[in-house]
Structure 1
Amino acid sequence: MIRVASRPAPWKRGPVLAALALLLGLFMQLHAWIPNRIGNLGSLAETVLPWFGLFIPVLLAGALWRRSPSAVAALLLPAVVWLNLFGPLLSDKSHAGGDLTVVSHNVGADNPDPAGTARDLSASGADLLALVEITPQAKPVYEKALAKTYPYHSVRGTVGLWSRLPLSDTEPVDTAMDYGPLAATKPDAVKAAYTRALRATVATHRGPLAVYVAHLGSVRVNPRAGFWTDSRDRGARALGQAVAAEQNERVVLLGDLNGATDDRAFAALTSQLRSTQDAAGSGFGFTWPATFPVVRIDQIMVRGVTPESSWSLPATASDHLPVAAEISW
């Protein structure tokens, strides 16, 4: 007697797909529980967390192919979690108007056309323009090209701030190492060699505004060290200390932080400042790499002022996209 194998009942089809869907949802919901002790896996996951949503349509296609109601039902979990985490970013939260337009751009140390980049940025209409990764060779090019539009500027190390409004109290901010009380004992020459952040006061018609420009340390991904972020994380803590000590209630932070604000490493900053993209942008605003942006590592963050709109500017000759925001009192 020959027996014909029967197909499993519909709700018993695709158990692997259903399990994967549930795991995906739990992974996104519990990302804060992923430990950083091994290769900074938690920070790495949080940096690319929005992209895990791409697994949802992939699993859905598999569930439909297998005709598995259980897998389709299980996919509700990751779909709801993803929308809860990132759905608000998809709506346009911008408003018309603003007292100041601010722009931040990592101009790139290997930028083949700094003069063209400066022209593009001048045409943006920014009142404040923050540049990072300025090389000694490119510095005079930017200074000359931006002088007519921005009569006030200050460059410290590899970061600079150009302004239509008067600047004062400009000073470097030590983000090279989280020295704590030992910072005062460091030689000035050592501090200058590692200057990747500055602080200035901008005289606006609504009162003084404290502006920080920063370029935090690079990150690396390799099999041996995992997601290496030590230099960046020290800089984020030091920058957080500087913002915490800031006396001015109105603060703007501009720069390349080499990380997404969802990354727990930026808790010292995100606990005090809010991202203009999250508050007044439309979409994720990814900025790097410029040819196909997959992460937003260039940030504009504020305290004491209101973000009205936030957006990315067209590509320049840099490998980063410029970011802009309108802020008001």
Structure 2
Amino acid sequence: MAQQAYMTETDNGGSGPERRGNGFRRLMDRLLSGWRGDPRIWRRGLVLAAIAVLLGLVMLLHARIPNRIGNLGSLTETFLPWLGLLIPLLLLLALVRRSAVALIALVVPVAAWLNLFGGLLTDRTGSGGDLTVATHNVNADNPDPSGTARDVAASGADVLALEELKASVVPVYEKALAPTYKYHSVQGTVGLWSKYPMSGVKSVDIQLGWTRAMRATVATPEGPVAFYVAHLPSVRVKLEAGFTARQRDTSADALGEAIAHDPLGRKVLLGDLNGTMNDRSLNGVTAQMRSTQGAAGSGFGFSWPASFPMARIDQIMVQGVEPVSSWTLPATASDHLPIAARVNLKSGS
């Protein structure tokens, strides 16, 4: 009986990992059976190969894509990581088409994507730090502002920024956050809440005609830090106009100027920039500050839309401060996810 059982198991291709391994080999044999001895594998799939190379070049040379027509360059850069989804599709088509040329050409987009985003696949979070900060676009039409305020306060942030504050609802946020934060200021549609004293509070002109940015000095236990809160104008994708972001771009330049001329060496920017770190139009800000997510996060940290995050347009950026960790917080009643970061003020770079 033991001998019979052994033979039955062997005849069925083994069990467990062995059976799965045999199944994979059989699948690969089927896929490659039509390749062996077929000289056409080098002539088929030339169009697929060209598309693969083009995809790689778009990722490698995204900064060269002009913005003159519908801000096409910025639009591409906003969703640049998602171009990687085309690689498995091209791989499948190359296998179905049995094209060696197309398979080899896939090296270009794979290498380009890994060069741009491979580092984000690792966990860069550290431990320690002496200040936790958070920011959240709460959505002007938020149906539960009190609950949203309590949720973000529960993050443990020492300094919290809120954007898209409707004037009629500001008292709700103030009341809900008062037990946690002794100091706060609201300027226009943005606000800053802090456990530490604030001074030098003022609005920042980002060329809109109304206030959507502010600055304050927070007296942390490690000394003064300049905090900026900003909500840059929204962008739109329109069939007839493309990626309309001129107002956002102008505001980003104005915000960058304000930050550049700030006398304090340690600065933190919290807010909804309506753009990703890849978007060249935010260079006025990104050229002088570090993203906490890029330096000390895990993954891409997408924050919008909350129902299916596709881009990180909410940002925590620092200058003269060392990021230690960065993460997204659980969803609230807003259409954005709140984000937080832990920073080290003692060893800023």
Q: Which residue of 2 aligns with 1:66?
A: 97
**Alpha-carbon shift at residue 309 of structure 1 (Å):** 0.2
Shift of 1:161: 0.2
Does residue 333 of structure 2 align to residue 317 of structure 1?
A: yes
> Which residue in 2 is equivalent to 1:238?
254
Candidates 184, 189, 195, aligned match of 1:153: 184
The match for 2:23 is none
- 1 CA distance for matches of 2:101 and 2:332? 48
Question: TM-score, normalized by length of structure 2?
Answer: 0.87
Once the two structures are superposed, what CA deviation does each residue of 1:23-72 show, in whole Å capped at 9, x if it has no partner?
11111111111000000000000000000000000000000111111101
Tell me the SS of whatever aligns to 1:279: helix
The residue that corresponds to 1:172 in the other structure is: 203
Structure 1 letter corresponding to 2:159:
L
Equivalent pairs, count: 309
Structure 2 residue 125 is the aligned partner of structure 1 residue 94: yes
Report SS of the residue matched to 1:137: helix
Asked if 2 retains the 8 angstrom alpha-carbon contact of 1:176 and 1:196, the reply is: no
CA distance in 2, matches of 1:113, 1:176: 31
Of structures 1 and 2, the one with the larger relative CO (CA 8 A, separation 6+) is: 1
The structure 1 segments of at least 4 consecutive aligned residues displaced by more than 4 Å after TM superposition are none
Q: Which residue of structure 1 aligns with residue 287 of structure 2? A: 271
Amino acid at match of 1:231: Q
Structure-2 residue corresponding to 1:124: 155
User: Partner letter of residue 277 of structure 2?
Assistant: T
Aligned partner of 1:186 in structure 2 is none
Instruction: Report the counterpart of residue 81 of structure 2 in structure 1.
Output: 50
2:227 aligned with 1:211: yes
1:303 Cα shift? Answer: 0.2
1:104 aligns with 2:131: no
**Which whole-Å CA distance do the structure 2 matches of 1:221 and 1:55 have between them?**
21
> Aligned partners of 1:34, 1:14: CA distance in 2, in Å?
27
1:142-186 deviations in Å (ceiling 9; x for gaps): 000000100100000000000001000100001134xxxxxxxxx
Task: Name the counterpart of 1:286.
Answer: 302
**Unpaired runs of 5+ in structure 2?**
1-37
Counterpart residue type for residue 241 of structure 1: E
Q: In the TM superposition, what is the alpha-carbon distance from 1:10 to its structure 2 partner? A: 1.3
Matched residues in 1 for 2:333 and 2:40: separation?
A: 58
Deviation at 1:8, TM superposition (A): 5.9
Q: Residue 228 of structure 1 is aligned with which of 234, 244, 248?
A: 244
Can you give the 5+ residue segments of structure 1 that lack an aligned partner in the other structure? 1-6, 178-190
User: Identity over aligned residues, as a percent?
Assistant: 64
CA RMSD of aligned residues (A): 1.1
Judge conservation of contact 1:104–1:254 (CA < 8 Å) in 2: yes
Q: C-alpha distance in 2, partners of 1:221/1:236?
A: 19
Deviations 1:112-153 (A, max 9, x none): 000000110111100000000000121000000000100100
SS in 2 for 1:138: helix
Q: Which has the larger radius of gyration?
A: 2
Partner of 1:261: 277
Structure 2 CA distance for aligned equivalents of residues 68 and 225 of structure 1: 39
Letter in structure 2 aligned against 1:208: P
Deviation at 1:9, TM superposition (A): 1.5
The question of 1:252 aligning with 2:283 is answered: no
Name the CA distance, whole Å, in 1 between partners of 2:239 and 2:94.
33
